[in-house]
Amino acid sequence: MSETPHIDIDYVANLARLDMTEEEKSKLGSQLDDILGYFDKLNSVDVEGVEPMAHAHRVANVWREGDQTGETYAPEILTGMAPDHRDNQVVVPKVVE
Amino acid sequence: MSDLHFKTITELAAMLAAGDITSVAITQSVINRTAAVDAQVKAFLSSDPEDALSQAKASDERRVAGKSLGPLDGIPIGIKDTLAVKDQPLRCASKMLENYVSPFDATCITKLREAGVVIWGRLNMDEFAMGSSTENSAYQTTCNPWNLETIPGGSSGGSAAAMAAGEAIATLGTDTGGSIRQPAALCGVVGMKPTYGLISRYGLVAFASSLDQVGPFARTVEDAALLMEAMLSKDPLDSTSIAPQGETNYAAALKEKKGPWKLGIPHEFFGEGINPEVKTNIEKAIDWYKGQGCEIVDISLPHSELAVPVYYIVATAEASSNLARFDGVRYGHRSDEAKDAMTLFTKSRGEGFGDEVKRRIILGTYVLSSGYYDAYYLRAQKVRRRILGDFEKAFEQVDAILTPTSPTPAFKRGERADDPLAMYLSDVYTISVNLAGLPAISIPSGFTESGLPIGLQVIGKAFGEADMFAIANAFEQSHGYYKMMPAL
């Protein structure tokens, strides 16, 4: 990380499943170079042996009994949110050739 | 009675209890004020006056029947557009959620309803809470009521501006890196971010889950304390929710606790980048505490300057993961050009998200991607622990830490719009608090020569809200800046 890498935006945008115009990509490219350059400050600190911190407090899984049911919603409400739906099912473009 | 909308919750609660006014009168005053000024301020994305008045009427009926639910019963509270309110739009100021209506209440909303609060309107914000100026909203740019040419701060800019303009008695916001405290400072109101886990995140649209917290905006510290008390809960629907600990009768405690306190001043927060008027103002506030007999301790938070890079790695990484759910399938925007699974995702997301959200998704995806994970994400998580360690060490010596909330007062619209890095540095004094999971509050501490508000930040120990409120309340009550209203 001594040299600030230049982000391959096409590669990353594909990982993120995000369509971007050429104009958006070119503007973002130079901005991201600035931001990544700023991130290099992190190399100034010794983190040898430091435990990574993902959370402010210790967090643990919260379990419940398997047979509990809480409040739920009618299928029409949930499928009704979908951009396209039919017979209480979400409709999507054909995904398998 | 024409200025009911500028009164505090405690003032209104006393008037309601005495039978001098009704919740309908308060709510109508807020509705009228909003109708009069929101064309200038643009704090609200939508509102439903009829629904608010019917909640107010129900509150008045409870009171008449002797069944009042307490000091918040009948008080209209504005809600940031990132918190779910049943049957209300929930758009996160994004085109992605343009037509989304929430089927349920967030837990914090449920708790406020149990206290009788009148849930009022949807407040503008930076899209998906990503920004420090509310200029990233897909719908409108909110103006700072103290100077309409300037931004209100962000991301909860609508919540802060509505407070300052008298369009609500209090509001809710969310704070991931300063999104409550920074706009509170810039709009001259009280804004508070609780200890991580104290308020349930259920029903808050996730941006960066290890940092996001719901919190109140209010006119006074006492009002913020009342709202906090009402929202406390260990919620089984949020696995990161934590049972309240220590003193939680905040409103009562802030009157009992008189200090003197040991207050830490981190010299790192007064160096490069701070506006000289802000610096002088905060130093004056520190002198005031000293004059009250508080011991002022020079402390060091040596990793402070790394908080911004750590934050923009951790928060964007979490955001890139959280926002993967917006795929055009089950809800939200779907592109008309979606032809197959891949274009369903890429086109829907490309059309639905704005520039800053895209920027952060790309950044977050990058720092998590193979080959860069260790250098960025893992290293940032390790430096995050160093930042927490700085605070833990400081709190061995002091009861609370005083800093400016924002390095500058409100800046002009457009000034930082094309310079994301400059925008990110707006949060330089607030971000480390989120990384460490601590509580902090911003209170008005005066004005610049040009009349823009300045905010003082009081950072407490984890679960040290009671002391933090008391320290903030002491300054507020002796200075009375909360009585100042912008001329609109």
Torsion, CA B3, CA B5, CA B8, CA B14, rounded to 10? 70
Residue of B nearest to A91 (CA): B329
- A56 to chain B, any CB pair closer than 8 A? The answer is yes
Q: Give tens-digit pLDDT for B254-276.
A: 999 989 999 999 999 998 889 99
Catalytic pick among B133, B137, B155, B320: B155
In chain B, residues 160-199 whose CB comes closer than 8 Å to chain A: 196-197
The residue whose two tokens read 């409400």 is A77
Cβ atoms B115, B75 nearer than 8 A: no
Rounded to two decimals, the ipTM of the complex is 0.92
Q: Do A57 and B344 lie within an 8 Å CB cutoff?
A: no
Give the CA distances from residue A70 to residues B232, B236, B237, B267, in Å, rounded to whole numbers and listed in that order: 21, 11, 10, 51
Q: Give tens-digit pLDDT for A26-46.
A: 989 888 888 998 899 999 999
pLDDT in tens, chain A (97 residues): 445 557 899 999 999 999 999 999 998 988 888 899 889 999 999 999 999 999 888 777 778 788 777 778 899 999 999 999 999 999 999 888 7
Instruction: Identify the DSSP state of B375.
Output: I
Q: Give tens-digit pLDDT for B225-258.
A: 999 999 999 999 999 999 999 999 999 999 999 8
Q: Do B210 and A55 lie within an 8 Å CB cutoff?
A: yes
Q: Give tens-digit pLDDT for B393-427.
A: 999 999 999 999 999 999 999 998 888 888 888 89
Who among B236, B372, B437 is closest to A57 (CB)? B437
B264: which strand partners?
Answer: B297, B401
Q: Give the residue-averaged pLDDT of B94-101.
A: 97
Partners of B311 on chain A (C-beta within 8 Å) are none
- A49 to chain B, any CB pair closer than 8 A? The answer is no
Among B242, B318, B363, the residue to mutate for chain A (most A Cβ within 10 A): B363
Q: Residue B402: in which H helix or E strand, if any?
A: strand B400-404
Q: Give the residue-averaged pLDDT of B358-374.
A: 95
Domain B4-264+396-479 CATH class label: alpha beta
Rounded Cα gap, residues B274 and B407, in angstroms? 5
- Is 80 exceeded by the pLDDT of residue B88? yes
Share of chain A above pLDDT 70, in %: 95
- Please report the pLDDT score of residue A67 as a whole number: 79
- Parallel, antiparallel or unpaired: strands B400-404 and B262-266: parallel
Domain boundaries, chain B: 4-264+396-479
* Domains of chain A, CATH where assigned: 1-44 (1.10.20)
In chain B, residues 40-99 whose CB comes closer than 8 Å to chain A: none
